[in-house]
Amino acid sequence: MRSCFLAIVLVLAAPLAARAQSADLVLCDRVAADPSDPDKPADVRGVAEIASSDVATAIRFCKQAAASSRRAMFALGRAYAANRQTAEAIAAWRKAADKGSSAAMVELGVAYGTGSGIAKDEAQARKLFEKAAQAGNPRGVSNLAALGGAGGAGPADPVQARALLGKAAETNAEAQYQLGLMLSEGSGGAKDDVAARALFEKAAAQNHPGALERMGAFAQEGRGGPKDKDAAKAYYERAAALGDADAKAALERLRCPYAIKDKQGKLVTTLCF
């Protein structure tokens, strides 16, 4: 009888533990998930930057969830970085990268490429970006292109970056945004505002802040499609709500469109509506 009772307790306790762990991950995602992390579920919005008031919460819950989630381990690195604990951030990203997190590979690559908190090593940065790019991470692709040719001696290869982004853009909002930028600028191939706008629209539908800001600009200017001031404002407002600084500035320009300057051309004031 006693053994049956213990078995029932253990069966009931296991789901409770799983739910507690899941709650840790939910809270970690809420305050520290990266919007561009390919590991992030579609229903998790993420935050461009971890708010200072959320750093302690992020460290606590991401640390608890990190034992069984590489996404949480990566987010823990973000939380440490936001708290200026660079060594701890790098250690967390290294663990997440070892578990296959392409987002962590990118952050480690950036650290090696810039020498931030670790000895500068462009060769190691390149390896990490290559591995992330092969996993379909759009930031890995764009950073790899920015490093240039073998050994860092040659020019960047935007053609290759555009091809890699094309594959990743089938499913990834960040890749759609990055490829849209390349198409809108004519980088790595022909300039195509219509295709760029379509990509921005796809990423904007997934609440990508940068894509929302670009859709606002394209709608405001009539690039790649119809000109629509009201739609532009709506896109800017959505992007600004997600923390996009360019969108906030664009909204201010819409509100105060006229600039008054003195004889030297210096701004004196703006006229707002």
| Residue carrying structure tokens 């290559």 | 130
Q: Do 103 and 36 contact (CB within 8 A), yes or no?
A: yes
pLDDT of residue 11: 36
pLDDT of residue 258: 67
Q: Which two tokens stand for residue 101?
A: 């997190």
d(CA 43, CA 71): 14
| Residue carrying structure tokens 């997600």 | 242
pLDDT of residue 42: 84
- Based on its alpha-carbon atoms, the radius of gyration of the chain, rounded to whole angstroms, reads 22
Q: For the chain of 273 residues, list the mean pLDDT of each consecutive stretch of 10.
A: 39 40 89 92 90 96 96 98 97 98 97 94 92 87 69 58 82 86 93 97 93 97 96 96 92 80 66 63
Name the DSSP class of 183: H
C-alpha angle with apex 94: 91 to 95, nearest 5 degrees?
90
d(CA 219, CA 223): 7
Select from 117, 163, 107, 166 the least CA-distant residue to 140.
107
pLDDT of residue 264: 74
E strand or H helix that includes residue 145:
helix 138-147
Helix, strand, coil % in the chain, rounded to nearest 5: 65, 5, 30
Per this entry, what is the length of the chain? 273
pLDDT of residue 15: 43
pLDDT of residue 204: 96
pLDDT of residue 9: 36
pLDDT of residue 21: 47
pLDDT of residue 267: 62
